[in-house]
Structure 1
């Protein structure tokens, strides 16, 4: 059987090279051209034009997103929460500097405000310039509000029950994102989550980061009471297998999308659907299930 490599229309004109993310004893690489490297006060930022997936973003040499892969990540982290929360008037995003998560949230007409708290303003600036297809019109939407600040300290100043949905769209639990995976931050998120609300975070790879993944799910369950991981694929991430963990206080409402709400975004998604979501929550391996019990 002939297996052709993934290829999209590439406009690469410069010298091509391989850029790898080294993860333990494994490397995950793509071929293309480095467009820019910059050091912000928080992290190293690389903009890379790949042959396979278009223009992509790396933070501290780790793959974050790319033009032709981003739907695999942004749709799963948003839609299970936005279709199941009791209300979705006020949405909070911690991180998400590339704009893709905000774009997906703003697809819902019932959303009145999306506040994005991103620690690194340079990530936002470079994403707007080099990855405009991710944020699209989100940056100019009157419902969108950007705060350049450390989300870990910012949430401590927010009044209780302020947000219907809280989405933590962060990088790996190192550097500026390390505090987003600890109990005190999660307890603050629970405090500011409105009744009937849903919390979600990316929760790493169950294969490449098994211990971090398991510890994250256990901790979220401890804080919120109800939490379940959902599994999907993001081929450019370590191992390709990824997870997002959803939580709520009153019960596992994130498992049950509201039909009237899913109808409002029908036909606009590339990965997510109610059917896909049902399978993604049920695809947990036996060994992961046993350890979480």
Structure 2
């Protein structure tokens, strides 16, 4: 049945698309729903919150992945936390220099449902460089050896439920230890408008553990507020303003959104962020 499928953000705001449910289930952790929308293709909701839709997902996944992988000194070993829809690993595996990718997803049902219903998003599940670990990403990082990962990408949902720990100080401290001063962390940082407090908090907590932190911005129409952020951090000598052009050239023939100009433009910071967190660029 065609209906409005809304994410109720709060008592004053909701974000929705017209469509119908194709599949729904309750996993151990959350309610999983796959929908077919009239305007944006297939989508995934977790506990009633939009996670991805086919029309928007390339912008989100490309901006989470490529600024990190075009600036990290090494990209041989990449850890993805969350991302059970498969879009993030798809973008990571575009790079020939990537040797190993581990997807640490706490809810194995999200992976299985996405593989079944979202084949246009998850196109790299059979890549031999990929390992899928159905496990708690925070515990995975806590138990990892120092310097064992070159890049960590955090593709979590909003800071509630099973994703809450991915926004806490202890998690970012563990990421810094695992990256050992030379790797790059990239996280989805929420909406700079509709989720202002969470966005600012993410930047500030990352600054406690990384010598360089930079928010980046892109439009994601289905997410609250329409504008979305990604926060990049490192303690290496890498510069977010100087991505490696050979890596960009390697992937941009396949990307929908990301290129060198988009990379640099996404670094423009709203004044309301600059004033609070003291970042200037």
Shorter-chain TM range is: over 0.9
- Indicate which of 221, 230, 234 corresponds to 2:216: 230
Moved more, 67-76 or 260-269: 260-269
Tell me by how many angstroms 1:260 deviates: 1.6
Which residue matches 1:292? 277
Give a deviation string over 1:55-107, Cα, whole Å, max 9, x none.
10000100000112110100000000111110110000000100000000000
Distance 1:153 1:266 in 2: 34
Match of 1:134, SS? coil
187-196 vs 107-116, greater mean Cα deviation: 187-196
TM-score by length of structure 2 reads 0.96
For residue 82 of structure 1, what is the aligned residue in structure 2? 69
For residues 186 and 167 of structure 2, what CA distance do their matches in structure 1 show? Answer: 12
Instruction: Name the residue aligned to 2:92.
Output: 105
Match of 2:45 among 45, 58, 79: 58
Contact preservation (8 Å) 1:85, 1:198: yes
Q: Secondary structure at the match of 1:161?
A: coil
CA distance in 2, matches of 1:152, 1:195: 19
Match of 2:161 in 1: 175
Cα RMSD between the aligned structures?
1.0
TM-score by length of 1: 0.93
| Structure showing the higher helix proportion among its residues | 1
- Find the partner of 1:244 among 230, 248, 256: 230
Q: Look up the match of 2:14.
A: 27
* Counterpart-to-counterpart distance in 2, 1:194 and 1:291: 28
Residue aligned with 1:49, SS: strand
CA offset at residue 196 of structure 1?
2.8
| CA positional deviation for 1:266 | 2.9
Give unmatched runs, 5+ long, in structure 2: none
Correspondent of 1:42 among 18, 26, 29? 29
Q: Return the alpha-carbon distance in structure 2 between the equivalents of residues 80 and 29 of structure 1.
A: 29
Distance 1:70 1:229 in 2: 19
1: CA distance, partners of 2:71 / 2:30: 35
Distance 2:180 2:130 in 1: 19
Deviations 1:186-226 (A, max 9, x none): 11111111543110100000000001100110110111121
Indicate which of 75, 88, 91 corresponds to 2:78.
91
Instruction: Report the alpha carbon displacement of residue 254 of structure 1 after superposing the two structures with TM.
Output: 2.7
Q: Deviations over 1:144-188 (max 9, x none)?
A: 000000111121111110111100000000000000001111111
Distance 1:69 1:26 in 2: 20
4+ runs deviating over 4 angstroms: none
Structure 2 contact 73–238 (Cα < 8 Å) conserved: no
Residue 221 of structure 2 aligns to a residue in which SS? coil
Please tell me whether residue 159 in structure 1 is matched to residue 141 in structure 2: no
Aligned residues: 277
